[in-house]
Amino acid sequence: MKKTLCILTGFILAANTFAQNKPDTALTLKEAVVTGDRYREVIPSQRLSGEKLEALSSFSVADAIRYFAGVQIKDYGGIGGLKTVDIRSMGTNHIGVFYDGIQLGDAQNGQIDLGKFSLDNIEEISLYNGQKSEIFQAAKDFSSSGTVYLRTRRPKFTGNKKFNVISYFRTGSFDLVNPSVLWEHKISKNISSSFNAEYAYSSGKYKFRYRKVHPDGQVAWDTTAVRQNGDINALRLEGGFNGDLDSGKWNIKAYFYNSEKGVPGAIVNNVWKRPQRQWDRNFFLQGSFQKPFFNKHDLLLNVKYANDWMRYLNPDTQTSKHINNIFLQQEIYASLANKYSIFSNWDVNISVDYQWNTLNANLTDFVFPVRNTILAAIATAFEWRWFKMQASVLGTFVFEDVKKKDIYKPANKTEYTPAVFLSYKPFKRIGLNFRAFYKRIFRLPTFNDMYYTDMGNISLKPEYTNQYNIGLQYEKKFKRGIVENLNFRVDAYYNEVTNKIIAVPKGSGQYRWMMMNLGYVEIRGVDVSAQTGWKLPADIYIQTNLNYTFQKAQDFTEKKSVWYGGQISYIPLHSGSAIMNMMWKTWDLNYSFIYVGERYHNSANILENHEQPWYTHDLTIGKSFVFTRRLIIPVKCKISVEINNIFNQQYDVVLNYPMPGTNFKIILKIEI
C-alpha cells in the first residue's frame, strides 16, 4: 500500500510538472466559518469548516479542536501521542465524538484518541455543549454532556464532471512523510462513491529542554535531550457510497486504520527512552438512511459494526513486570428515529437505539464482559414568534453480563435523564439572541474501570453531570465600511460532576489501585468568542476568530484533605486562542495563537504541583495556482509552508511529556 500511494502521488506531481501556468489566472478562495443558527437550532455550535479548517496549523482533528472555547486537549506529545478532548472540565469520558452522524465507541476505556483522525477528508468540525440542538437524531445524540461532530466530504460535481481527485503530500520535521489521495466518482445522477487513502510515517524525534526548579528557586537540573520512541507508522483507508433520494439521502461508509507506534512515556528519574510499543487496528462499517414519509413524518435509520484490536507491549522488566496485553472490542449498533410535525411550528421525535459491546483480552482472570444497552428518547421542538424551545427525556437501560460466572454478576442499570433548551430573540431586526439550557446526563463505568485485573471495581456507579448554561449571541452584517460581519457570544455555566470515578490506593502496596466512586467536582466558567470579517482595499479579505475561557473547576471530594476546593488537575483558570486568516488573490496567510494559563497537575494546589503557563504561535503561508494550458481538465495546486511554535517555547501539556519546539511542514495539495 505504501508503494501504491507513492505511485499515485508521483503520477499527479509529474502531470503538473509539465503543465504551464496560465498568466492572469486567479483562484478565488471562499472560506467559511459557519456560526449562525440552523433551522430551529436553539444553542448554536462552534464550527470550523472550509478553507479556515484547512489553513489551520493542524495535523489531526485534535489539533483543530484546540481553537474552540471551553475545550482542553490532553496531548502526550508528538504526532503519534495520545490526544483526548475535555469540554468544560467534565472529563474526557463525558464527550461523545460522532463520525458522519454515528458515535465512535470505546467501551474499554471511554476515550477516543482524536489523533487518529486526519483532516484530509473532514469538511466540518462542530462542537456542542449539552447536546446537538436538533431533535431529529438518534437517541445516542442525547447521551453525552458535550458532543463533537466530524463531517466528512460528500462528493459534489460541477457541470459534466464525473470525478474529483484531491492529493496531499506533507513532509517536514520529525522525518514526516505523509501522502494521501481522495478519489470521488459520480456513478449516476443520484449515486456517487469516494475513496480516501492516507499513509503517515514519523520518527517522532525532537529536541526538548528538561528543567526542574525547586520551590526555593534553586535549579535541580537543566539539560537538553532528544525525545525517543515517539515514532508512528500508520495507514488509513476510507471509502463509501452516497445517494440522494426524493427529499432524502443515504450513505454507506467503511473505515480502516492500522498503526504501530512507540509509547514515549514520561521523562522521570533520568529515563530518556522507553521500550513500550502499541499496535492498533480499527475497523467499522456504518450506514445511514433518511427520508420523509407521508406529509409530516421523517425517518432516520443508522446501523454500525465496529471491531477494534489493540496490543500493548512492555518488555522492560527492570521497572515493572513484562506485559504483552491484547484487547479486542466489538460493537453492534442500530438506531431508528421518527419525527412527526404536529403543526408547522411544533415537532416531536421518538428515537430508539440498541448497542451491543463486548471485550476480550488475554489478561489473567479476565471476565469477558458483555454489555447490552437500549436507549429511548422522546424530544420535542416548539417555536412561537421569537421564542424557541427544545426538551427531551432519555431513558437508558443497561444489561450487563460476564462470561466468567464465578464472580459477582454486575447489576442492571436504568436511568432517566432530562434536558431543556430555550432561546429568545427580543428584537425583529436586531440579531440578538438570549439562550439557556439545563441537562442531566451520566456516563457508565468503562470496562477497564470495572474489570481490569486487580484494579477494576464491579460495583461502580455511573458518573453524573448536571449542566446549567445562560448566554447571549449578537450577529450583525454590515453593508458599508471595511467590517463585513460580526458574531459575538458569551456563555456563563455551572456544572456538577458527582460519583466521579477515581483511582485510589488499595491496601499497602504502592502499585495496587482500585477504582471507586468518591469524587465531586463543581465547575464555574465563562466562554467568550468573537468572529469578524474584514474587506480591505486591494482585494484583501481578513477573518478573525477570538476565544477566551475562564474556568474555576474545584474538587470538593474530601473536606479534610489538602486538595479540598482546589482547582482540578490540568484545568487553567484562563485560556484562549486567536486565529487570523488573510486572503489576497492567490495568496493566503494564517496566524494562530493558543494560550493556556497557570494550572496544577494535582488537585492539591500547592507550589510543588504548580505548572507554568504556555502559549504557541503558528504561521502558515500558501500560494494557489491553476494549470489549464494543454490540459483537458484544469488542475488546481496549492503549496503551503507551516511553521509551528515559532518562538520555540518549551512546555508540557501533561507533566513530564515534553512537546516539540519550533517545527515546520511543507504541504502540496493538488486538485483535479
Cα atoms in the Cβ-side hemisphere of radius 13 Å centred on 641: 4
**Domain 2-671 maps to which CATH number in 2.40.30.10, 3.40.50.40, 2.40.170.20, 3.65.10.10?**
2.40.170.20
Q: Which residue has the higher pLDDT, 473 or 7?
A: 473
Task: Give the Cα separation of 114 and 302 in Å (integer).
Answer: 22
Strongest mean pLDDT among 414-418, 455-459, 505-509: 414-418
pLDDT score of 20 more than 60: no
Residue 405: predicted pLDDT: 63
Give the pTM: 0.86
Strands 346-361 and 323-343: antiparallel
Residue 406: predicted pLDDT: 66
Residue 365: predicted pLDDT: 80
Q: What percent of the chain has pLDDT over 70?
A: 89
Average pLDDT score over residue span 100-125: 84
Q: Show the cell assigned to 118.
A: 486526519
What 596-600 contacts at long range (C-beta under 8 Å, 24+ apart), as own/partner pairs, is 596/572, 596/653, 597/572, 597/573, 598/572, 598/573, 599/567, 599/569, 599/570, 599/571, 599/572, 599/573, 600/566, 600/567, 600/569, 600/570
* Contact in structure between 98 and 117 (CB atoms under 8 Å): no
Residue 143: predicted pLDDT: 92
Buried b (16+ CB within 10 A) or exposed e, 357-371: bbbebebeebbebbb
| Domain parsing of the chain, residue ranges | 2-671
Q: Which residue has the higher pLDDT, 616 or 316?
A: 616
Strand partners, 207: 226
Residue 408: predicted pLDDT: 66
pLDDT bin (cut points 50, 70, 90) of residue 15 is: very low
Average pLDDT score over residue span 538-560: 90
Polymer length of the chain:
672
